[in-house]
Structure 1
Amino acid sequence: MARPSPDPQVVAPRQARSRATMERIVAATEELLAGKPFEQITIAEISARSGSAPTAIYARFSDKGALLLEVHDRFKQRVTGTIDTTFGSAERRDWPIDRFVATAVGELVDLYRANRHLLRSVLLADNPVMYSRAADLTRAVSEALARRVHPVPDAVERDLDFAVRAALALVQQELLFGDQPPARFPVGAGELTTRVTALILAAVPDR
């Protein structure tokens, strides 16, 4: 896959019409990503799906790498919203920790798997901005989980943080390998959720 330029540029639209065009372009790209990898999507396809001329796309995005950057930013916003809902819900605050973690993990696994084409392209793009966003999301999950089981000693917070990193690494491993199983046995979403939940709960004291 050809790598995007090292400094892709997204031109923020100022007028309502230009913003609407940009939204159509991004939405079209997200729709196409639901079916195939980003590297297989052409500007011509995005143009046809969005009803925007290629020149309109390049007026807002310096190249496909810039478009990937914008789509990934939208993904980060969705994950942040999921984290806020999962960990900040008043209804879920009184749930047993086992149910709480299982629900949170299940929602995140589903979200990551639904966006597997996007995230695999992000991992392969080798872009520092996208790496920074991924790190921000990992920290956000770790911090939200620590608040949920607060107060805990610093050593336990480190254990929780490591468990979150290990859990996300399992999901990312699937993304990197694409359609090829990364290990001897295939793991479905349900089993992945169960095993990741157990991994995190093992670091939770006195549950």
Structure 2
Amino acid sequence: MQHGPVGLRLIRARDARTVQRELLSNRAWLQPWEATVPGGIATFDMRVSIRRLLQQHRDGIGYPFVMEYDGEIAGQLNIWGVARGSLCSATIGYWVSERFAGRGITPTAVALATDASFGRFGLHRMEICIRPENRASLRVVQKLGFRYEGLRRRYIHIDGDWRDHHAFALVKEDVPEGVLARWVRGRVPSDAGAVPPDAGALPADD
């Protein structure tokens, strides 16, 4: 998958060294947003991680990609938690190296991945969950017109604790022309992805 200088391709075993180097050189940039395991120890053995991702792909429950810019690996994008049957849904997660930030790589890659999910992969719904503090990722879903669907309390273990996440989603019928085409043509609704001002408020006492 390609749009301009931005490419999205299935991760390969031989990408391990490059991806691991990017992760280690971007620790301060990525750590606040990285998933962790309660009581576990972080590992950066990308050979093991890639083997697991490719096994998920063979099992039909994930699509692990690298994002490229002018042919150079700039980050990762994973379509995970693929549910078939009556759901036909999945979730997107991603990271991009700091040196590639600001070039439109992530929204382009997310658009490509979502279009592929609704087309080639036979999915109906795509979700992205983002920490309220992650303004860069919030801009991605707003640019692409993902719909805000609510706050998930203490949803994912990130950087050593359970963190709240805003949930955004699109279904195939939302984007008949495709996510990428709608964005490139400037047809994303101006209020798309807007988070209500009280979205993080705790419910009032009864």
Say which structure is richer in helix: 1
| TM-score (norm. length: structure 1) | 0.32
Say which structure is richer in strand: 2
Higher RCO, 1 vs 2 (CA within 8 Å, ≥6 residues apart): 1
